[in-house]
């Protein structure tokens, strides 16, 4: 799912992401494209019949040069294949311009029940493992039927098909390779959403991702029959540029539905299922990623606010269930779909020192499809090609997490210290704990500035604003004497107590820059002005968010069966955050922050054991929280640490 909304991006741009991308369209307005799609491709439109008689609207771009047969490269999307009409050409139907220049038959399809396709759209279509007749359809069967029709009806094809897609189209890609058609030779699910409850899009750690989901459903309504999307989407009027203000005034999330100003079954469904019940389990496509016969390239971004877990979960599921196939993982320093829309040179104040998107498209994605669809020389890709932030280096490993990474724990210590050494103090009880008061009426914001939605920059945003709040615990190491590289999942292991009966626990892993760190010049730095300039962000002491994730305490034993806290009782809260591949450089410090609100990124926990989607204002209460750090109740964060010597690192390469 793609959550760019409000002032950040319009609904039309969401659809354009599939065609790669709104950025391409904007650039096309600035200058004439180097490659004229209309000159080199002829566009056709078809309504392709599925086995149950439903017809799916499909746009096909065929190279005019018929000197050689071409493979198909297909994307299936709920966001529209607009512009409609055989004479209307979009910005690009391919992952990158290098593909259109090389020559492919590009296929773009409105999935069942969306835009001009017939049928009924079902969120994250449940997979039917057993099909007993033509009425038993899912995304696997729709993909199979589409491929079969294309092979028979589009001339001058070479009999091979590649699938790709970003975000929701990434889900349709991974769902489409289950029991895959023999002609599908390669697929690249990018930022897919294999489980929207377990860390993708909708729920993270059982907590509802409020601002992003509300923004998405303002422009993605349910649809009763085939129809073109509006030519001019109407953006939702928040009435303010401050999402924090908007959602705080809105009150409990039960009030969100009336602000959507329409009955929407999708929104109602996600709030009606706050536990990991059958609704979510039957949509968890990763359980069904079997009988895959094509090469797979899983792609994601380390700073993807929506679907960071998706490519990691998909990669591991395919690896486990499909031995013998080529299954690789690529993770870059990107936001959601950033490899297709941005240069990937920087994110906010963080500079990655290279155009990482160009490297990926030209050296990884393009050779992958060229080899499997056109018999070009093998790309010789590693199983894991991952960008290491901090050092700004691409690394190659024979698996992910990389071999040689060792489990260690960053322990919380007295006086705000953080250490790899376990506490030895025998002090017990509240004397060996740190406490704070959490007030749902004054939640900790997730960014230190005003924004109407969810700025993608928040994934690396400066956390100094939060470190000064009394309802945020802060633990930090001394300046590091050598580089420390973390590669793999980050797993908080907390011992906590609350005076309430429920609570959220947000843990943030942070890279603290040295106090004398210089601030590189930017293009704006050289602009002369005769006025007093606004303050600029300095990187001296910058607290870069590396990874942050919420966990709703009621699910500490099970996402299916929530349990209340007993006020004052110390309990373990253990969870796992998405992976990182980050080096904390010598002279930097490692920091961990702990808090109980992260608003409005995450909905507010009333801190009473109630069904939060139907909570009343009187259910929201102040609670006192304690995090324990004694010898027998040693809270901390488990990480995987790579060997520090370069010789050992090189030995781990394939």
Report, at the CATH architecture level, how domain 11-195+286-397 is classified: 3-Layer(aba) Sandwich (3.40)
**Do the beta carbons of residue 165 and residue 173 sit within 8 Å?**
yes
* Phi, psi of 504, rounded to the nearest 5 degrees: -95, 150
DSSP H helix total and E strand total for the chain: 17, 26
CA 261, CA 239: separation in Å to the nearest integer? 14
- Give me the sign of the Cα torsion angle 552, 555, 556, 562: positive
pLDDT confidence of residue 428: 75
pLDDT < 50 regions, the chain = 2-32, 646-647
**What residue ranges of the chain are covered by domains with CATH 3.40.50.1820?**
11-195+286-397
- 486: CB partners within 8 A, 6+ apart: 580, 581, 582, 583, 584, 639, 640, 641, 642
- 653: CB partners within 8 A, 6+ apart: 382, 395, 396, 397, 398
Q: Are strands 346-347 and 327-332 parallel, antiparallel or unpaired?
A: unpaired
**What residue ranges of the chain are covered by domains with CATH 2.60.120.260?**
406-516+537-651
Rounded to the nearest integer, the mean pLDDT of the chain is 92
Q: For the segment 118-152, what is each residue's pLDDT rounded down to a tens digit?
A: 999 999 999 999 999 999 999 999 999 999 999 99
CA 191, CA 200: separation in Å to the nearest integer? 9
CA angle in degrees (0–180, nearest 5) for 56-38-342? 80
Q: For the segment 82-108, what is each residue's pLDDT rounded down to a tens digit?
A: 999 999 998 889 999 999 999 999 999
pLDDT confidence of residue 471: 98
What is the per-residue burial (b if ≥16 Cβ within 10 Å, else e) of 362-387?
eebbbbbbbbbbbeeeebebbbbbbb
Q: Which of 36, 60, 65 is nearest to 48 (CA)?
A: 60
pLDDT confidence of residue 1: 58
- 603: CB partners within 8 A, 6+ apart: 207, 208, 209, 210, 253, 612
Unique residue bearing structure tokens 């796992």: 576
Q: What is the pTM of this model?
A: 0.93
pLDDT confidence of residue 40: 96
CA angle in degrees (0–180, nearest 5) for 400-402-408? 115
Query: In sequence order, what DSSP letters do the residues of 174-241 get, joined into one string?
Result: HHHTTT--TTEEEEEEES--S-TTTTSTTEETTEE-HHHHHHHHTT----SS--PPPSSPPPP--SSS
Q: Domain 406-516+537-651 class?
A: mainly beta
């Amino acid at each position: 799912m793609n959550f760019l909304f409000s002032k950040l991006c319009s609904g039309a741009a969401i659809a354009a992401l599939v065609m790669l991308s709104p950025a391409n369209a904007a650039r096309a307005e600035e200058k004439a494209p180097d490659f004229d799609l209309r000159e080199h491709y002829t566009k056709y439109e078809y309504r392709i019949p599925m086995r149950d008689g439903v017809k799916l609207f499909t746009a096909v771009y065929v190279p005019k040069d018929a000197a050689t047969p071409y493979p198909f490269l297909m994307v299936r999307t709920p966001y529209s294949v607009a512009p409609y009409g055989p004479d209307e050409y979009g910005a690009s139907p391919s992952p990158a311009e290098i593909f259109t220049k090389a020559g492919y038959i590009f296929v773009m399809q409105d999935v069942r029940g969306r835009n001009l396709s017939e049928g009924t759209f079902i969120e994250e279509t449940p997979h039917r493992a057993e099909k007993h007749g033509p009425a038993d359809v899912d995304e696997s069967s729709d993909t199979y039927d589409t491929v079969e029709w294309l092979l028979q009806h589009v001339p001058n094809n070479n009999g091979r098909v590649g699938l790709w897609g970003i975000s929701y189209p990434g889900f349709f890609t991974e769902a489409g390779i289950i029991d895959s058609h023999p002609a599908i030779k390669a697929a690249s699910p990018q930022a897919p959403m294999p489980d929207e409850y377990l860390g993708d899009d909708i729920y993270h750690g059982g907590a509802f991702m409020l601002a992003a989901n509300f923004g998405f459903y303002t422009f993605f309504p349910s649809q009763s029959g085939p129809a073109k999307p509006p030519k001019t989407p109407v953006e939702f009027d928040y009435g303010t540029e401050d999402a924090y203000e908007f959602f705080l005034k809105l009150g409990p999330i039960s009030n969100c539905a009336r602000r959507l100003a329409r009955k929407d079954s999708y929104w109602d469904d996600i709030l009606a299922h706050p536990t990991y019940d059958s609704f979510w389990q039957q949509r968890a496509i990763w359980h069904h990623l079997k009988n895959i016969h094509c090469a797979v390239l899983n792609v994601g971004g380390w700073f993807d606010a929506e679907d960071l877990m998706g490519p990691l979960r998909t990669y591991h599921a395919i690896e486990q269930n499909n031995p013998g196939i080529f299954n690789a993982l690529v993770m870059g320093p990107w936001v959601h779909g950033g490899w297709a829309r941005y240069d990937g040179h920087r994110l906010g104040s963080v500079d990655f020192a290279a155009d990482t998107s160009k490297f990926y498209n030209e050296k990884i994605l393009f050779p992958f499809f060229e080899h499997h669809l056109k018999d070009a020389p093998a790309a010789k890709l590693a199983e894991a090609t991952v960008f290491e932030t901090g050092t700004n280096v691409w690394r190659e490993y024979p698996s992910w997490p990389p071999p040689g990474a060792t489990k260690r724990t960053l322990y919380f210590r007295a006086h705000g210290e953080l250490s790899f050494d376990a506490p030895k103090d025998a002090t017990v009880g509240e004397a060996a704990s740190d406490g704070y008061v959490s007030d749902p009426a004054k939640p900790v914001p997730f960014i230190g500035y005003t924004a109407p939605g969810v700025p993608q920059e928040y994934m690396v945003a400066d956390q100094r604003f939060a470190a000064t709040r009394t309802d945020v615990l802060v633990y930090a190491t001394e300046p590091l004497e050598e580089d420390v590289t973390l590669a793999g999942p980050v797993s908080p292991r907390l011992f906590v107590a609350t005076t309430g009966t429920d609570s959220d626990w947000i843990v943030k892993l942070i890279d603290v820059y040295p106090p004398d760190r210089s601030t590189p010049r930017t293009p704006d730095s050289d602009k002369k002005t005769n006025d007093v300039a606004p303050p600029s962000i300095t990187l001296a002491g910058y607290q870069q968010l590396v990874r942050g994730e919420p966990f709703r305490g009621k699910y500490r034993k099970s996402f299916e069966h929530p349990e209340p806290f007993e006020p004052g009782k110390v309990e373990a809260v253990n969870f796992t955050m998405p992976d990182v591949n980050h080096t904390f450089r010598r002279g930097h410090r490692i920091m961990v922050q702990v808090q109980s609100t992260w608003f409005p990124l995450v909905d507010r926990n009333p801190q009473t054991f109630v069904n939060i989607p139907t909570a009343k204002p009187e259910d929201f209460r102040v609670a006192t929280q304690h995090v324990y750090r004694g010898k027998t109740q040693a809270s901390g964060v488990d990480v995987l640490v790579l060997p520090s010597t370069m010789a050992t690192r090189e030995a781990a390469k394939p």
